[in-house]
Amino acid sequence: MKYRKFGKLNWKVSALGFGCMRLPVIGEDRSNINEDEATKMIRFAIDHGLNYVDSAYGYHRGKSEVLVGKVLKGRYREKVRVATKMPMFRVNSKADLDKNFNEQLNRLQTGHIDFYLLHGLNKGTWTKAQDLDVLDWAEKNVADDRIKCLGFSFHDEYNVFKDIIDRYDGWTFCQIQYNYMDTEYQAGTKGLKYAASKGLAVVVMEPIAGGMLAVTPPTEIQAIWDEAEVKRTPAEWALQWVWNHPEVSVVLSGMSTMEQVVENVKAADRSGPNMLSDKELELVSRVREEYLKFGFIGCTSCRYCMPCPHGVGIPEIFALYNEYSRKREDPKAQQEVINKYSESIPSEEGAKKCAKCRECEEKCPQQLPICNLITRAAGIFEGNG
């Protein structure tokens, strides 16, 4: 395992962090984590040098923190630093802060949180945090040693990101979405460099865009990857591109299988700042341009939009929409995707069920125009253009 600086701390973090948002589950219920398999996966990663485990109050409908607490109980807790997040969507009064935090300590079976984040800050939640004096509350818990380091995760425009950093000197780190498709999205490259210049450690989430950059690419994109002297899977290309940035402290991967854990641990051992050649970086840029031509939708399958009050299977529809878009040069293959939609999406979860209430858009951390995209999908898959 390779290790990197974590901002101004006298501590080095593993290049790979374990994001506990997409753990293996039994059946379709996201709260029904396959505890045996998840335990093996997390402990395998730790045994191979990983020392950063990330969770949040709402992951797996509240069960992620519980699972992490069980996995780390005992000697494994001493080997890692745990990150979790204050669920700002559940904070409507100052009393909610202690209520949520104490519940998280109990779930995680720990007396302190190493890295605590204000979850999903944007213009609205940042204003809420200031109105409720959340930073004062956090500082008291830092003084009481219940929080070791304070940070925030972010989903909004760069100017909001910069304002959050500039208005408070107590941040140790931040967490941003970053991958080769999102260089100018939300905080983007500009935000990455700004945070690092201020001495903050930068934790990267969605390095593979929720798995979208790991799927088997269309022929045109695979042909570009094939030009590389060093052969990598699409997933490793995405990871190595993020690790190539010296400003990045740790890259989170939401791993769902042991195979992904093993592959990512190996990839992390091959990682390093400025490791990619100019030619390799040029290949990544070309791949990005090709994906943009193919109508890439930046859905990360985080499922924050779910459940839809009208039953629409939003993440599943978007996955098929992206698959359809990537095959635009092959009508036969596109028809196969349409057939797959008919077979896999029940009518009660189909795109036509969208009532355009836009509740999903209020929840989406990517701020996607979900209703418009679902309408397009309905036109493609259900002839309801």
Q: What single string gives the DSSP state of each residue in 187-236? A: THHHHHHHHHHTT-EEEEE-TTGGGGGGSPPPHHHHHHHTT-SS---HHH
> Is position 171 within any domain?
yes
99, 206: one domain: yes
240, 144: one domain: yes
283, 353: one domain: no
pLDDT tens, position by position, 262-313: 999 999 999 999 999 999 999 999 999 888 776 667 687 888 999 999 999 9
- Report the pLDDT averaged over residues 60-77: 96
149, 286: one domain: yes
Residues 138 and 136: their CA atoms lie apart, in Å, by 5
pLDDT tens, position by position, 242-255: 999 999 999 999 99
> Is position 348 within any domain?
yes
Residues 357 and 362: their CA atoms lie apart, in Å, by 10
Percentage with pLDDT > 70 across the chain: 98
pLDDT for position 384: 46
> Is position 161 within any domain?
yes
The residue range of the domain holding 370 is 314-381
190, 230: one domain: yes
149, 15: one domain: yes
Q: Which of 145-154, 193-202, 225-234, 360-369 is least confident?
A: 360-369
Percentage with pLDDT > 90 across the chain: 80
Residue 353 per-residue DSSP state: G
How many domains are contained in the chain?
2
Radius of gyration of the chain (CA): 21
Q: Which residues contact 216 (CB under 8 A, 6 or more apart)?
A: 222, 234
pLDDT for position 385: 38
Alpha helical stretches, state H, 244-330 = 258-269, 278-293, 314-326
Q: Write phi, then psi, for 301 (nearest 5 degrees).
A: 60, 35
225, 365: one domain: no
68, 143: one domain: yes
> Is position 181 within any domain?
yes
Q: Is the pLDDT of residue 237 over 50?
A: yes
CATH number, domain at 273? Answer: 3.20.20.100
209, 119: one domain: yes
> Is position 362 within any domain?
yes
Q: Are the C-beta atoms of residues 213 and 225 closer than 8 Å to each other?
A: no
285, 356: one domain: no
pLDDT, greater one: 48 or 331: 48
N residues, the chain: 385
Average pLDDT, the chain: 93
- Report the pLDDT averaged over residues 136-160: 97
pTM recorded for the entire structure: 0.84
Q: Is the pLDDT of residue 328 over 70?
A: no
Q: Is the pLDDT of residue 327 over 90?
A: no
Q: Is the pLDDT of residue 326 over 80?
A: no
Please report the DSSP string for 160-183 in residue order: HHHHHHHT-S---EEEEE--TT-T
The neighbour count for residue 264, using CB atoms within 10 Å, is: 23
> Is position 236 within any domain?
yes
> Is position 306 within any domain?
no
250, 155: one domain: yes
Tokens, residue 347: 């009518």
287, 320: one domain: no
pLDDT for position 329: 62
pLDDT tens, position by position, 28-46: 788 999 999 999 999 999 9
